[in-house]
Homo-oligomer: A and B are copies of this chain.
Amino acid sequence: MRDVAVIGIGMNKWGEAWNKSLEEIFVAAALDAIKDSGVDKVDSMYVGCMTSGLFNQQEHLASKLSDYSGLAPIPATRVESACASGGLAFKCGVLDVMSGSSEVVLVGGVEKMTDVGGDHATFALATAADQNYEVYQGVTFPGLYAMMARAHMDRYGTTSEQLAAVAVKNHKNGRLNPLAQFQTDITIDSVLNSVMIADPLHILDCSPISDGAAACIICSLEKAKEFSNKAIVKVSGFGHATDTIALHHRDDLTTLKAVSAATEKALAMAGKKHEDIDLIELHDCFTIAEIIVLESMGFYKPGSAGQATIAGETAKNGKLPVNTSGGLKSKGHPVGATGVAQIVEITKQLRNEAGDRQVDNVRIGLTQNMGGSGGSSIVNILEVL
């Protein structure tokens, strides 16, 4: 069991890549990560992707991407856990290095979602829920998160303004991220006046449909300095947990047990406490998700994260910056890529390479990636040495 470090990161602009294929956007990010790392050889690769089968009629994806990246015959593994596929691919890559089986591992995430119509995209994403007991009855993801939002409002008095404040903050951060899909400020009023998707969630409470990829290179901590002359970012801990896939099977819609369990494990493995974490990239697929995740992780008491957001505590210059990248809301949410992009952002911040959105004096960052309505979650803790 050996320590692991992130030594390279790669990501290109996210958005609607009409003139590029899934393969092209993945390879661009992968080659950037390899170049950034300084390695001249990769031993193994992991690809997080939710559903290239339904979006692109392409399975056997890791084999295709090792081939198109010029990396075959290396072992290549595709990993899927719905929207947490990227975070899970990262964990699997870390296990590969920890096991001693591989020295240098490429972890990439990708999703090309815009090649199909909006109805089909909604259908493809809905396969992250229970097909038999949720999707077949007509529920979609905005609907599931709307139910969570309603329950949270009912129990804690959470307001639509508090939800909107999450989107406003993340757009403000995303405006400073040249790779973000949306680089425009929005206001609480514009969120509240935007079209209602699933009451109480307006369209500006929802992350978009996106094309994008992200990648990183990891290796054993002991070899990291041989390969890279940049600041070394250590993987201090990870946690991964599941919950019922169907929302209606849970005792409580206002908390996410998989998120709590994954966070607890990651902190224990890293030997850290909540107060040690300097910044967070988390899974704001909908604004309510950011609030419930902050509470489920234990950074805020139940019912208090909405007020904290309004108060600016999670802003870039707040006491606990959350989603400096712009989050899923503004950076975009190509579902399989999101978890890896969170690693990219935290690594940039820890290396002091985040440009206009750099947070001062950050040493330890946390990522939280979520599958479906919380049926799975992966938390990683990174630390600059």
Cβ-neighbour of A64 out of B63, B67, B130 (below 8 A): B130
Among A80, A123, A130, which residue has the most Cβ atoms of chain B within 10 A? A80
Q: Are B81 and A78 in contact (CB under 8 A)?
A: yes
> Taking the full assembly, how many copies of this chain does it contain?
2
Q: Are A67 and B127 in contact (CB under 8 A)?
A: no
Q: How far is the CB of A363 from chain B (nearest CB, A)?
A: 25
Interface size class of A (residues with CB under 8 A): 35 or more
Question: Could you say which of A49-57, A178-186, A211-219 contacts chain B?
Answer: A49-57
The answer to the question of A365 belonging to the interface, with a C-beta cut-off of 8 Å to chain B, is: no
Q: How far is the CA of A190 from the CA of B257 in the complex (A)?
A: 57
A371 with B63, Cβ < 8 A, contacts A78-B81, A98-B100 known: yes
Q: Are A240 and B75 in contact (CB under 8 A)?
A: yes
Q: Are B60 and A82 in contact (CB under 8 A)?
A: yes
What does DSSP make chain A's interface, helix, strand, loop or mixed?
mixed
CB contacts (< 8 Å) of A92 on chain B: these are 77, 92, 95
Question: Could you say which of A158-166, A192-200, A241-249, A318-326 contacts chain B?
Answer: A241-249
For residue A260, which residue of chain B has the nearest CB? B73
Q: Are A244 and B67 in contact (CB under 8 A)?
A: yes
Q: Are B99 and A81 in contact (CB under 8 A)?
A: no
Q: Are A54 and B56 in contact (CB under 8 A)?
A: no
CB contacts (< 8 Å) of A64 on chain B: these are 130, 245, 375
Q: Are B1 and A242 in contact (CB under 8 A)?
A: no
Q: Are B242 and A62 in contact (CB under 8 A)?
A: yes
Cβ-neighbour of A135 out of B57, B61, B77, B123 (below 8 A): B57
Q: How far is the CB of A106 from chain B (nearest CB, A)?
A: 13
CB contacts (< 8 Å) of A375 on chain B: these are 60, 63-64, 67
Q: How far is the CB of A206 from chain B (nearest CB, A)?
A: 19
CB contacts (< 8 Å) of A246 on chain B: these are 67
Q: How far is the CB of A237 from chain B (nearest CB, A)?
A: 11
The 9 A-B pairs at the shortest CB distance, nearest first, are namely A60-B82, A98-B99, A1-B100, A75-B240, A63-B375, A53-B53, A99-B99, A59-B127, A60-B128
Q: What are 7 A-B residue pairs whose CB atoms fall within 8 Å in the complex? A: A1-B99, A50-B59, A53-B124, A62-B81, A75-B242, A77-B79, A80-B80
